[in-house]
């Protein structure tokens, strides 16, 4: 059985507000999505656009949380298509919180995702045991 045959789906309620007008780590935030599982806040995704915003967000996050694990995906991407910008990805796996910081060079979209390790584990365990 391959990994996709046993994939588990967890459904979250995602909310965002158009009127969020925030500056985070010197970065102009485009959108903030708030994720809830069974009524409990479990994750947030902060989205911005543009290289300058990416640079300031990355600098602030790395200063605050350390380097994490960095992965660079070359300009041809995972599927081998040419003409795509380089993707940079940082990940932090903690006992309480998990984080991902991703920048897609072709779209110039940057996302910072932070989620509760405990709630994600509970959600996936519960989803695995559904009949």
From the number of C-beta atoms within 10 Å of its C-beta (0-12, 13-18, 19+), residue 48 rates as buried
Answer whether residue 25 shows pLDDT above 80.
Answer: no
> Is the distance from CB of 95 to CB of 115 less than 8 angstroms?
no
**CATH number of the domain within which 95 lies:** 3.40.1000
CA–CA dist 46, 54 (Å, integer) = 11
Domain presence at residue 3: no
In a 10 Å sphere around its CB, with 0-12 CB exposed, 13-18 middle and 19+ buried, how is residue 112 labelled?
buried
Number of domain units in the chain: 1
Q: Which residues neighbour 76 within 8 Å (Cβ) at sequence distance 6 or greater?
A: 82, 84
Residue 14, pLDDT score: 84
Mean pLDDT, range 5-28, rounded to an integer: 70
Residue 16 has pLDDT above 60, yes or no: yes
- Has residue 8 been placed in a domain? no
Q: Is residue 54 part of a domain?
A: yes
Q: Which residue range forms the structural domain that includes residue 25?
A: 15-76+83-126
pLDDT tens-digit series, residues 55-108:
999 999 999 998 888 776 655 544 444 445 678 889 998 889 899 999 988 889
């Amino acid at each position: 059985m391959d990994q996709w045959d046993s994939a588990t789906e967890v459904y979250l309620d995602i909310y965002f507000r158009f009127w969020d007008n925030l500056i985070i780590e010197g970065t102009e935030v485009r959108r903030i999505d708030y994720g809830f599982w069974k009524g409990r806040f479990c994750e947030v995704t902060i989205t911005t656009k543009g290289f300058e915003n990416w640079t300031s967000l990355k600098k602030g996050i790395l200063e605050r949380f350390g380097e994490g694990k960095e992965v660079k995906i070359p300009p041809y991407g995972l599927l081998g298509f040419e003409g795509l910008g380089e993707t940079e990805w940082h990940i932090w796996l903690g006992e309480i919180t998990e984080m991902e910081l991703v920048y897609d060079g072709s779209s110039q979209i940057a996302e910072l995702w932070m989620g509760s390790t405990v709630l994600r584990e509970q959600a996936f365990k519960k989803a695995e045991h559904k009949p």
